[in-house]
Structure 1
Amino acid sequence: MISFYLCDQNKEKMIRCFVFIIYFLSVVLPLSAQPKYEIRAIWLTTLNGMDWPQAKAIDAAGVRKQQNELCRILDKLQSAHFNTVLLQTRIRGDVLYPSDIETFAEILTGHAGKDPGYDPLAFAIEECHKRGMEIHAWMVTVPIGNDQQVESAGKKSLVRKRRDLCKHYRGTWYLDPGNPSTQEYLSKLVCELVGKYDIDGVHLDYIRYPERASSFPDKDTFKKYGRGMPFTAWRRNNITTIVRRLYQDVKALKPWVKVSSSPIGKYRDTRRYTSRGWNALHTVYQEAQQWLKEGIQDALFPMMYFKENDFYPFALDWKEHKNNRWIVPGLGVYFLSPSEQDWPLDEIVRQVNFIREIGLDGQAYFRNRFVLDNTKQIWDELTENTYAYPALIPPMTWIDRIAPDAPTHPSVKRTKEGHLMLSWNPSIDNSNQPVTYHLYGSDTYPVDIRNPKNLITTYLPTNHYPYKPSQPWLLKRYLCVTAADRFGNESVPLELNKASEDDLPILNDGDQVTLPHVKDVRYIRIATPTGHEVLRIDYANSFNIQQLHEGFYWVYLIDKEGRERLVGTILK
């Protein structure tokens, strides 16, 4: 890890130096070691069904098809060790769930406001949690829709129901951030969502003024509510007031629910690097770094869809203003597409490496389809290298830092199929909320839970697990389990099995094994920890294991009477 300690006086000079150094390192060095704690998020876009859904829920078959589409997406994300799904839940004044405030989104059925016959958000939450992934409700806050979208919604549109909150600008309708009733409206919407659903986060998108906002028609609002403030300060305060209110509302209901937003990727110009006229603070009135300083966001996902000097210096700027909250840069993987900017894959790989090197908290990818379609082999890169092992979401220690009690009373039983059924007594958390469990395994004792390579599965919702690796030789000899609360605090581990005298490792060079001389032995038997025999040979002091796959094995000796005893283990 390369750390940065930048005082205000020397900050720009040091940034110029470090940008070059770390950019160089990110190019020439292999990808940084994968951390145990890392947010791995993806934006799952429902606007126009860009990521999901494609099928229309017009009947029972359509519902099943729509649900199966989502399950296939989530299966792939789970297999790539993503841990956070940002599901677009409020699209343009319409939503993916039955609401007393806003109407069903047209994309679900092809008709604005039509009930799809099931609750898509509840279904998505259940399926994400089954797979050990968090789901955050991605809420597009200020835009309500273009003229066509509003017309399609008809009487059910927000423009028709609450015209007093809406402004029309350049062919699109927006909520008016300066109208105090806008804050109240969004508060009711978010409280309804958080109160009804077991979501893990609320993700505020487009919590800002629109592009080219200088002519946004809110002069009348300023005249009424400006209270003598400078116009630009008033606009920034309007957005911050909404952010503050929504954060406080969510925490009052469920303090473990994460509240985040996706500001513009460049906060402001630096002395050395310009934002080229597109930044959060001055262009769209998002004082997002102030939100972190005030503690009214748990995380920011800045949309850093840039490269080279438009990316690295601004990532450092976010790093220097974390204020002990999370910064998760959004990466523009859609630019890998030849129909977009045809970036090389190395551009994204370098950015991930840089993010890890400077100690930011993860990555988010815009958007899902470009990852799952393996654009420029991004899927292969993630599954084979970048995300080769699972990762946990960091603990939200600024809200709660008390770990739950460790699980107790371990049980390991072998099934008829030769798999292991693991179980333990449930853990207790001080917040009286359910806990989840992380399972670790290793061929060395004791299991090191600091090493992400040892994570077998994460965020188990139950206190039992059928352990059946895809191949017998992948089964780990030693297992332990920890409990995690809703804030991410992790208990000390419970060992599910312990080392014994028979676990003495037998040395080998990968080809040849040497045993001490033992009398009256007829056979040597090699088996996986599940008991699957992979080799049986006549006894000899030395024997060849080249034909074995890499993995962990038990070594048994069988005497002339057919009696068998375990004498040690082999790690090839």
Structure 2
Amino acid sequence: MINTRRFPRFARAKIIAAALFLTSCSSEPPKSLVTPLPPVAKHPLPDKPGQNSQPMRGVWLATVSRLDWPPVNSVNLSPDARIRQQKQALTSKLDNLKSMGINTVFFQVKPDATALWPSKILPWSDMLTGEIGKDPGYDPLQFILDEAHQRGMKVHAWFNPYRVSTNIRSSTVNELNRTLPLNPASIFVLHRDWIRTSGDRFVLDPGIPEARDWITSIVAEVVARYPVDGVQFDDYFYTETPASTLNDNQTWRQYGQGFASKADWRRHNTAQLIEQVSRTIKQLNPNVEFGVSPAGVWRNRSHDPAGSDTRGAAAYDESFADTRLWVQKGWLDYIAPQIYWPFARDAARYGVLAKWWSDVVKPTNTRLYIGVALYKVGEPSKNEPDWMVQGGVPELKKQLDMNESDPHIHGTILFREAYLEQPQTRQAVDYLKHRWSSR
């Protein structure tokens, strides 16, 4: 259970009305400063009934490692050519998504500790120019919002909350260190004491209250400045892979008093972030939806009678994310579990998990969207051969049929956009287009 008496720091910080603007001085170590956010601009969105009248038909558009966008080679072009190519690529994708009947794009605005908008907290993302902190010459977040809204599509700003970098190579360390003279510089140099190594990545330590406040301030900056339709966190909280354990022993000794186990304390830390981000968003703009896309398994029934009849890696035990509690507490407008298995996968059957999540949201006001594994369609798999049968169409049809027949499932999100253009998914994409664009 969450110990609600341990929330005074958040109350005192009043992160809703402040962001951590970071600065450095040549004669002193860098410090974090708390200064007011710019005045909040309310961005009116449709009322809830109209907003939710159409089922969610979404897609994740990843910018980390330039997986979906921007084009990998665009960073090698002249500034004008680069901007032109990146904008054209994005509008082409939106046109394609619109033609398929997709109505929502989950756009990754914070792939690590860099930003795809002109932030006063994070340096510019090197995904845009090849160099951290380099101004790309335009605002990608504003651009996709303008273009998507013109097409009648919604955009949810997708954040990876804790990731600082995708690797720990010396070249990456040097690049992060070179941001020190910038305004803003990377959190890696401003608060090296917040940084931990998780597997082969640098991440923030979720047990540090100031680090959670800092993440919240980043979300606040976007919600205050942009007419985003929603905010989403992905499933990376304490670990990014089962082997990427995080050494937080010192933080546990400092902040873990009163908890029976480190695992309970970690889940409390994650819950605090979710609650304070939720409250922040609603105070800044109550029309902006807040959601999380966690691993598909909350807990296995073998560990908890309330869990699902599965044998998969569980968010509660692996990532210290009590996602079921977040729904029950009303902190989320929606939850989008990643149910990336077919109906026949014995360890984690699609039908079992979708029904389990449907039962979880049923007594709440949290909407349920299901994350579907488009990336597996057409790929050979010994354990999941159904993705290969008739181009994966029968399996995909069964999943969509269930999503649309269960009254507590409000839509589907595809992972991820680039797979809409792969040869192995052609049959499935044609099926999706026929099914969604005609309704």
Structure-2-length-normalised TM-score: 0.77
Q: State the partner residue of 1:253.
A: 284
Change (3 A) 1:122 1:144: same
Q: State the partner residue of 1:329.
A: 370
1:318 is aligned to 2:357: yes
Work out the CA distance in 2 between the residues paired with 1:138 and 1:219.
Answer: 30
| 8 Å CA contact retained: 1:213, 1:284 | no
State the Cα distance separating 1:207 from its structure 2 match: 4.6
State the Cα distance separating 1:70 from its structure 2 match: 0.2
| 8 Å CA contact retained: 2:308, 2:356 | no
Work out the CA distance in 2 between the residues paired with 1:168 and 1:176.
Answer: 9
1:221 is aligned to 2:221: no
State the Cα distance separating 1:281 from its structure 2 match: 1.2
State the Cα distance separating 1:36 from its structure 2 match: 5.4
Work out the CA distance in 1 between the residues paired with 2:429 and 2:400.
Answer: 14
Q: State the partner residue of 1:349.
A: 397
Find 2:299's aligned residue among 243, 253, 268.
268
Work out the CA distance in 1 between the residues paired with 2:192 and 2:106.
Answer: 29
1:278 is aligned to 2:313: yes
Work out the CA distance in 1 between the residues paired with 2:276 and 2:85.
Answer: 39
Report 1:130-169 matches (<5 A): 130-145=150-165, 146-148=167-169, 149-156=172-179, 157-169=186-198
Report 1:357-396 matches (<5 A): 357-359=405-407, 360-373=409-422, 375-389=425-439
Work out the CA distance in 2 between the residues paired with 1:339 and 1:60.
Answer: 41
1:74 is aligned to 2:94: yes
Secondary structure of the 2:189 match is helix
| 8 Å CA contact retained: 2:195, 2:205 | yes
Q: State the partner residue of 2:8.
A: none
Report 1:3-18 matches (<5 A): none
State the Cα distance separating 1:339 from its structure 2 match: 6.5
Q: Counterpart amino acid of 2:247? A: P
State the Cα distance separating 1:338 from its structure 2 match: 3.0
Work out the CA distance in 2 between the residues paired with 1:214 and 1:106.
Answer: 24
| 8 Å CA contact retained: 2:102, 2:436 | no
| 8 Å CA contact retained: 1:247, 1:296 | yes
Q: After the TM superposition, which of the residue ranges 120-129 and 342-351 deviates more from structure 2?
A: 342-351
Change (3 A) 1:58 1:214: closer
Q: Counterpart amino acid of 1:141? A: P
State the Cα distance separating 1:264 from its structure 2 match: 0.7
Find 1:178's aligned residue among 207, 224, 227.
207
RMSD, aligned CA: 2.0
Secondary structure of the 2:337 match is coil
Change (3 A) 1:215 1:127: closer
Q: Percent same amino acid at aligned positions?
A: 30
Q: After the TM superposition, which of the residue ranges 205-214 and 36-45 deviates more from structure 2?
A: 205-214
Work out the CA distance in 1 between the residues paired with 2:187 and 2:89.
Answer: 29
Count of aligned residue pairs for this structure pair: 355
Work out the CA distance in 2 between the residues paired with 1:345 and 1:152.
Answer: 44
State the Cα distance separating 1:387 from its structure 2 match: 4.1
Work out the CA distance in 2 between the residues paired with 1:112 and 1:377.
Answer: 39
Change (3 A) 1:273 1:287: closer
Change (3 A) 1:277 1:115: same
State the Cα distance separating 1:198 from its structure 2 match: 1.1
Secondary structure of the 1:370 match is helix
Secondary structure of the 1:269 match is coil
Q: State the partner residue of 2:227.
A: 198
Q: After the TM superposition, which of the residue ranges 301-310 and 99-108 deviates more from structure 2?
A: 301-310
| 8 Å CA contact retained: 2:176, 2:189 | no
Work out the CA distance in 1 between the residues paired with 2:335 and 2:207.
Answer: 23
Change (3 A) 1:62 1:198: same
Q: After the TM superposition, which of the residue ranges 57-66 and 352-361 deviates more from structure 2?
A: 57-66
| 8 Å CA contact retained: 1:207, 1:261 | no
In structure 1, the gaps of 5 or more residues are 1-34, 390-572
Change (3 A) 1:214 1:115: closer
Work out the CA distance in 2 between the residues paired with 1:134 and 1:346.
Answer: 29
Q: State the partner residue of 2:325.
A: 290
State the Cα distance separating 1:50 from its structure 2 match: 1.3
Work out the CA distance in 2 between the residues paired with 1:174 and 1:88.
Answer: 17
Q: Which string of whole-angstrom CA distances, capped at 9 and with x for unpartnered residues, describes residues 308-352 of structure 1?
A: 242211111110111231111100110014367771222121111
Q: Counterpart amino acid of 1:350? A: K
Q: Which string of whole-angstrom CA distances, capped at 9 and with x for unpartnered residues, describes residues 51-89 of structure 1?
A: 111023741122111100000000011111111100010
Q: Which string of whole-angstrom CA distances, capped at 9 and with x for unpartnered residues, describes residues 468-497 of structure 1?
A: xxxxxxxxxxxxxxxxxxxxxxxxxxxxxx
Q: Counterpart amino acid of 2:420? A: V
Q: Counterpart amino acid of 2:175? A: S
Higher Cα radius of gyration: 1
Structure-1-length-normalised TM-score: 0.59
Work out the CA distance in 1 between the residues paired with 2:141 and 2:380.
Answer: 32
State the Cα distance separating 1:43 from its structure 2 match: 0.2
Q: Which has the higher contact order (CA 8 A, sep 6+)?
A: 2
Q: Counterpart amino acid of 1:319? A: S
Change (3 A) 1:46 1:214: closer
